[in-house]
Structure 1
Amino acid sequence: MKRTVKLTSLKEAVSTVRDGERIALGGFAIYQRPMALTAELVRQKKRQLTLIGILNGIEADLLTGAGVLHCIETSYVGLERFGLARNFRRAAESGVLKTVDYPELIAWDRFRASQEGLPFWPCTFLGGSGVAANNPDIVPFACPVTARQMWAVPPANPDVVLLHAPLGDEYGNVAFHSRKMLPQSADITLSRCCDRVIVSVEKIVSPQQLSRQPHLVEIPAFRTTHIVEAPFGAHPTSVPGIYDCDERAFWDYVTASATPQRFAQWLQQHITGVADHQAYLDQSGNRRLLALRNMAIPQ
């Protein structure tokens, strides 16, 4: 049977995301976020999206500040050592953005429920928590075995998942380094909970190259709908083993997000005012980007 070539552009891949859909973005905290795909969501002026996450960072704050999100369901939105996610904080406090809180472990378990096709995830540790009291989608029930109080937590159920990974081929097979950490494990889980998976990769390689190390292919082609080559597609977040976090870019973002007016200027300069991801990289400069590679820990 003839295989389907799924290699396409960022613009084409993101054009398949429809307004009002539920999306999940890969990575974890400030690591391995699909930032090139996130920026393209902004450029295409997507609206009324719901973001489902585990522990979110700059990608969520960027989408919030750009007016893309209607709702976010997660355990945390912040920039870790870089401080608060200010766009998110302003929008949440003003009521512009609907927020639904889940504990971090349960936020991950929601994706596991979707992966297994379960109508809910059973939880035993929400007693006394405001999370359950303020979320009508969490349903209390008695365990049929022990009669103990439990809670049924709804699955994540994203309409589309967007990820960034190190390697892939034109058919949509996606490979990770053998030394996987939390961001990679999260991506693999997300890829198994949805029928539409868009992946950007640092490099497109031949199918023959991947076949020589089949154990590294964690996302097989039948799970992906689109694959895009996007070097530094996680910038300014890091891709462990390939390049480090761009601290200067993060601090520039933090400074710009202090007020809506300054953030609008930053958005125009770095996202909406540049044609595409390549133009964004050109703006950052090769020397600066290559220096981030030199700081990465070899695999």
Structure 2
Amino acid sequence: MSKRKSKLCSMRQAVSLIRDGDRIALGGFAIYQKPMALVHELIRSQKRDLTVVGSVNSIDVDMLAGAGCLKGVETSYVGLEKFGLAANYRRAVQAGEIRVVHYPELISWDRFRANAEGLSFWPVSYLGGSDIVNLNQDIQTFLDPITGKTLYAVPAANPDVAAIHVPAADIYGNVRIQPRHLLPQSMDVAIARATRNLIVTAEKIIKTEEIQKTPHLNVIPAFRVRAVVHAPNGSHPTPVLGVRKMDDAFFEKYVEASADPQAFHTFLQTLILQTRDQAAYLKQIGYEQIGALTEEKEGKDGVQHSGVVGGEFGPYN
């Protein structure tokens, strides 16, 4: 039996798996548990012509839109929820710079389910009379061979690469998530099952023995994972359930900056383009502000933090 190989790498190495023009899926849900450190590295790497395929998106898509990384978006929603509109995204769409394909929220999830089941489409029965069908030429009608009723074939999501941020993983790609499943965690699982090119960024890198102690929390197995990155606070400013709180102050500054293209350009330069990596980004934000976001002590919510590999930011950032 061959020895397993570590999949632990730097964020830059992980992002190299994403090519210009790829279809990418970004985990989390709305403004919760987004793989933002990876989004930052996509911007630093000047990736172009990406298409984000998702369900409910927010600052991840808005930031990529403001940085000029996107060609298309296929989702049900892009916005900042209680913080308001996604101004960069809105400007880019209105200017015709981004092609938008709208799917209802539930059907957006079903598109990932189609990939997980090895299907090219997901059958839907309730789109009749909707402009979703009229305006989306990718949705095809067909007759149910059992009932003879009209059904609608919604194309699978087909992400080339996907990325999620999780509380903990081992170096081989076994992922531990929270035992309490809310929408962000469920979306992560759905995305993970829709691709074999999954990038995992993790708050903690733990020993495989720790994973084995609670196998019921390892709902994303190693064989689906291409790369693992140690990225503490890698979802900032979005929260991680049971680990980090949302950074409301950052969101408010982000909304203010994104209201004006030039102000956002300065914001992007200062926090991302002129910072070398995640550690430098966090230093720019301020460790006191970041530290205040810690929600619970280590070891709660199913995450055992013993056996951590590397220091505060890990040896690979």
Same fold judged by TM-score > 0.5? yes
Q: Any idea what the Cα deviations from partners look like across 1:237-286, whole Å, max 9, x if unmatched? A: 00010011000000110000001111101100111111111000111222
Provide, for residues 43-102 of structure 1, a one-character-per-residue CA deviation record: whole Å limited to 9, x for no partner.
000000110000000000000110001000000000000000001111111111100000
1:49 aligns to 2:50 (yes or no): yes
For residues 176-220 of structure 1, the C-alpha deviation after alignment (integer angstroms, 9 at most, x for no partner) is: 121121101110111011110000000101111111111111111
Is 1:155 the counterpart of 2:146? The answer is no
CA distance in 1, matches of 2:85, 2:121: 32
Structure 2 residue matching 1:99: 3-state secondary structure: strand
What's the counterpart of residue 260 of structure 1?
A: 261
Give 3-state SS (helix, strand or coil) of 1:293's partner.
Answer: coil
Query: Runs in 1 of length 4+ with deviation above 4 angstroms?
Result: none
Q: Secondary structure at the match of 2:28?
A: coil
Q: CA deviation at 1:295?
A: 7.5
Unaligned runs of 5+ in 1: none
2:3 — aligned with what?
2
Query: For the aligned residues, what is the CA RMSD?
Result: 1.3
Correspondence for 1:184: 185
Whole-angstrom CA distance in 1 between matches of 2:20 and 2:295: 39
Q: Distance in 1 between matches of 2:17 and 2:195?
A: 14
SS in 2 for 1:23: strand
Q: Which structure 2 residues correspond to residues 1-299 of structure 1 after superposition, within 5 A? A: 1-294=2-295, 299=301
**1:125 to partner: Cα distance:** 1.1
Range that drifts further, 127-136 or 228-237: 127-136
**CA–CA separation in structure 2 for the residues paired with 1:27 and 1:243:** 14
Counterpart amino acid of residue 197 in structure 2: R
* 2:43 and 2:273 in contact (8 A); partners too: yes
CA contact (8 A) 1:35 1:235 kept: yes
- Report if aligned partners of 1:244, 1:295 keep a CA contact under 8 Å in 2: no
Residues 1:245 and 1:295: Cα distance change in structure 2 (over 3 Å):
farther
Report if aligned partners of 2:158, 2:194 keep a CA contact under 8 Å in 1: yes
The alignment-based identity, stated in percent, is: 51
Distance apart, 1:294 and its partner CA: 3.9
Aligned length: 299
Question: Secondary structure of 1:240's partner?
Answer: coil
Residues 203 and 230 in structure 1, CA contact (< 8 A), matched pair in contact too: yes
**What does the per-residue CA deviation read over 1:208-239, in whole Å, with 9 as the maximum and x for residues that have no partner?**
11111111111111110100000000000000
Code of the aligned partner of 1:264: H
Q: Which residue of 1 aligns with 2:309?
A: none
For 2:54, the aligned partner's letter is G
Name stretches of at least 5 consecutive residues in structure 2 with no aligned partner.
Answer: 302-317
SS of the aligned residue for 2:52 comes to strand
